[in-house]
Structure 1
Amino acid sequence: MSAPTGAVRVLSPTGMLGAGFAESTVDRGLELGADVISVDAGSTDSGPHYLGSGTAKTTAAAVARDLRILLRAAARAKIPLVVGSCGTGGTDSGVEQVARIVDEVLREEDLGLSVATIRSEQSAEFVKQRLREGAVHPLAPATALDEATVDSCTHVVGMMGHEPIEAALRAGADVVLAGRATDTAVAAAFPLMKGMPAGPVWHAAKIVECGGQCTTNPRTGGVLATIDHSGFTIEPLDPDAACTPISVAAHMLYETVNPFRMREPAGELDVTGAVYTAVDDRVVRVEGSRFHPADQHTVKLEGARITGYETMSFTAIRDEHIIANIEAWTELFTEVLTGRVEQTLGLDGTEYSFDLRRYGYDAVLGGLDPAVRPPREIGVMLLVRARTQELATAVAKVANPLMLHLPTPDMAYLPSLAFAYSPAETERGAVYEFALHHVVDTRTPTEMFRTDHRKAPARD
């Protein structure tokens, strides 16, 4: 299908850098005339650990593999590559990690591409100053922010919109490596820079944010969005996949509070009037999307802090009598462990906590999905949390004999359960929680972000 005059084509190869994709699908996107490659590299989906620790969810080898394909493609087609939320949490260390991989690939492949890095990490002093100025506001269900909470965070990032990315592209960057960014900003920056209308751009960016997830076969690769002045089309890059009006429209349900409206730093996407039409059995056309600019540009803050240290133990129960009386067993376990910790370690319940999760019984949904029959086996995970790793492990060690031999109150013998590994206790390290869910009123859309431009690295 030929694109309308003045259209911009956005190639989204995958939902997350490092997740992998077939190189042939990227080649197909170039054949269809892609003008830019955009890919997300981060998320809060996997919890606060990656932001709090400043480490990546993906392995460097997987990221390097994907980047090598995308950098070659960008150089071959002479189009920009935009990567958002580098290093999972978008911290400065995450941007630097991806930048090092990019530099290595550019040297090895002898690709003369210039690179812009955009840092999104915020200092505690900056956030506290804006807080004092009344420029920081909570997002539901968060409450008003205080300075102590800001100081408790190990890392704080601001979630950029398209503006810093667009500025880097206008400055001539071939590759843009952004810190924390909205998933949509990564795909929206280039078409907005080219003058495409905001409604179709932001809607298309939302649909392509997860690559092939808007297709009938999400595992096979990415998609190409062709955006013009009256709407956009979505086409899968794998010939065996298809986009349908339902698969495309359904993606507005993904990670949104409202399936018809979605807030960006610059305003709100409104798809209440959008119409999804099948162009053929693989391609979908969307028209009627609108974007309402906000009176006040805002940047969302994300911060994580350490809440303690955790040690895990895991055992498996096959004893039919214990399984039939698992509630009584759990109650006894809690009572005995609490008493023994107080006896042996001198700790009361204020100095540690533990959680007993019964997999195969109710660990996932709890009482919302009661078992209709006794399961054949139950895996019991013990998670102990305390102010230090040593203390958490000490409590878990006190629990060790209970995880292996605790009978129900009415049993006349000592059962043998089954540890999954030896040693039974695994130290999980620091445990984090999200502490910031707030927005900052900005003076300019780019003031909170710092951009550095690098020339193409020389080959060794």
Structure 2
Amino acid sequence: MTPSTDPAPQVRVLSPSGMLGAGFAPETIEYGLTLNPDVIAIDGGSTDSGPYYLGAGVAKTTAAAVRRDLDILLRAAAGAGIPLLVGSCGTSGTDSGVDWVAGIAESVMAEAGLDLRIARVYSEQDPAFLKEELGAGRIRPLAPHGPLEPDTLESCAHIVGMMGHEPFADAIEAGAQVVLAGRATDTALAAAVPLMRGMPAGPAWHAAKVVECGGQCTTDPRAGGVLATIDAGGFVIEPLDPANVCTPASVAAHMLYETANPFRMREPAGTLDVSDATYTALDHRRVRVEGSRFEPAVQHTIKLEGARVTGYETVSFTGIRDPYITAHIDRWAALLRTLVTDRVRQTLGLSDDDYALDIRLYGHNAILEAADPDTAPPREVGVMLLVNAPSQATATAIAKVANPLMLHLPLPEMQYLPSFAFATSPAETERGPAYEFVLNHAVDVDSPTSMFRTHHAHEDTHV
């Protein structure tokens, strides 16, 4: 894909929401269409919700919510004659996630009488191929990870490569009206059409970063998405709800979101630099940004994400309101850990190395732990016991050993037996397999699209 030789004077990107299935008001899309967008771009997921969705290959969103959003967006794209781009389908961008979203889209189009050409772009990676790349010295770690071992690749339930804008652009040039892609950078889908039409890379990538989460760059993120208008000198951000507002601060602040450096952000093709960007209010609700730059990379890279099973989890939750125990809750939690560990060794014959035990004190320090400056005794505490073991049966057995202690454990000096309250019956809930991210590495590639496969439904061909 090469940029247009006759650049458009401006390109408009409509971003309905931060994630497909998160919902938005239909009237915001109707208003957005009056602004003559050139593309609708919406992300389908990310790693925000942890490794489970990649490891299990399932979505965090319900099919009904995705269907509702797609029904509105497919009709909008068809009516306006513009492409609809979705990245990281099915939350993590697995092949099954792409097919899941595509199946919903095809069902919506059949019911609505729409005939749009869909391209599916797959991003899952074969461990055997990656082992060859590793052996050739083409895979390197990203901080804080160290060198990659071949066995790590084999241990992953799923591995995806994070694509840039190029597979989206190629699919559009091949005639796709709807592009449903696997794992992609959050910005790639919003930058694709502006770059195709000759917009400068600096404004295109910066605008894409600002709109990646829809209305999060506004003063009321609940009010819906935004529209970015990119031109040769910069871009303008406008909310899709006429009552909503963008300010220079709300737009500039989005470079603080999910970035290690608020001025520089790496994409597969290079680095966005906004250190000289200026943010100017055009009126009470629109902001213009100028001065963004993009530094092309010497080496194009594709980031890898992979997740593997770490064990099986069982969780138990009890509530404590006894004022004496809540006043000494840290000492009580330490006693609970000691007694559970001792009883598991005695009854199940398991040592500390055979399982993991996590005790979280909600209402006290479950989130900040020792960093919490509040030392006042909590009024009530929710105690969550999380057990991770090599099998589900073992995890549940350990939680059951803890059950009597989580119901009536007194501190040694107490002369009565306290009673606590389990949140559920049975007290133990089996969570199934637990996953961890194990890949944070980049692959050096000769082509931005070589690690991805595109299927065009109408032609029934793979690229």
TM tier, smaller? over 0.9
2: CA distance between counterparts of 1:328 and 1:175?
A: 58
Counterpart-to-counterpart distance in 1, 2:129 and 2:26: 43
2:277 and 2:289 in contact (8 A); partners too: yes
1:96 corresponds to 2:99 = yes
Structure 1 residue corresponding to 2:363, chosen from 357, 360, 363: 360
Q: Deviations over 1:326-349 (max 9, x none)?
A: 122112111111111111111111
Specify the alignment match of 1:270 in structure 2.
273
Match of 2:121 in 1: 118
- Following superposition of structure 1 onto structure 2, how do residues 151-190 of structure 1 map, counting pairs within 5 Å? 151-190=154-193
CA distance in 1, matches of 2:441, 2:101: 27
Q: Which amino acid aligns with 1:446?
A: T
Which amino acid in 2 is paired with 1:246?
A
Q: What does residue 412 of structure 2 align with? A: 409
CA gap 1:456/1:240 in 2 versus in 1, 3 angstroms: farther
Unaligned ranges ≥5, structure 1: none
1:224-303 to structure 2, matched below 5 A, reads: 224-303=227-306
- Which of residues 105, 109, 124 in structure 1 aligns to 2:108? 105
Query: Counterpart of 1:67?
Result: 70
The CA distance in 2 between the partners of 1:5 and 1:326, in whole Å, is 64
Say yes or no: does 1:370 pair with 2:350: no
Q: Does 1:19 align with 2:19?
A: no
Distance 1:326 1:217 in 2: 39
Q: Deviations over 1:236-280 (max 9, x none)?
A: 000111111000000011001111110000000011111111100
Q: Please say if residues 8 and 197 of structure 2, whose CA atoms lie closer than 8 Å, have aligned partners that are also in contact.
A: no
- The aligned residue for residue 51 of structure 2 is 48
CA-CA distance at 1:323 after TM superposition: 1.0
Q: 1:397 aligns with which of 382, 389, 400?
A: 400
How many percent of aligned residue pairs carry the same amino acid?
Answer: 66
Name the CA distance, whole Å, in 2 between partners of 1:93 and 1:62: 18
Moved over 6 A (4+): none
Matched letter for residue 39 of structure 1: I
Measure the CA separation in 2 of the matches of 1:86 and 1:93: 9
TM-score w.r.t. the length of structure 2 is: 0.97
Q: 1:441 aligned to 2:454?
A: no
Aligned residue for 2:341?
338
Of 350, 365, 369 in structure 1, the residue corresponding to residue 353 of structure 2 is: 350
- C-alpha distance in 2 between matches for 1:351 and 1:386: 7
Contact 1:362 1:370 in 2 (8 A): no
SS state at 1:350 partner:
helix
One-letter code of the match for 2:195?
Answer: L
Contact 1:136–1:439 (Cα < 8 Å) also in 2: yes
Query: Do the aligned partners of 2:223 and 2:241 also contact (CA within 8 Å) in 1?
Result: yes
- SS of equivalent to 1:268: strand
Mapped partners of 2:24, 2:31: distance in 1: 12
Q: Which runs of 5+ in 2 are unaligned?
A: 1-6
SS of residue paired to 1:447: coil
Q: CA RMSD in A?
A: 1.2
Question: Does the CA contact (< 8 Å) of 1:354 and 1:384 recur in 2?
Answer: yes
CA contact (8 A) 2:161 2:304 kept: yes
Does 1:322 find its partner at 2:325?
yes
Partner of 1:183, secondary structure, is coil
Distance 2:288 2:337 in 1: 58
How far residue 6 of structure 1 moved from its aligned partner, in angstroms, is 1.4
Amino acid at match of 2:266: R
Alignment check: 8 A CA contact 1:112 1:456 kept: no
Give the superposition deviation at 1:5: 6.7
What letter corresponds to residue 68 of structure 2 in structure 1? Answer: R
Q: CA deviation at 1:456?
A: 9.8
TM value normalised by structure 1: 0.97
Name which of 215, 226, 249 aligns with 2:218: 215
Q: Contact 2:194–2:230 at 8 Å: present in 1 too?
A: yes
Aligned pair count reads 454
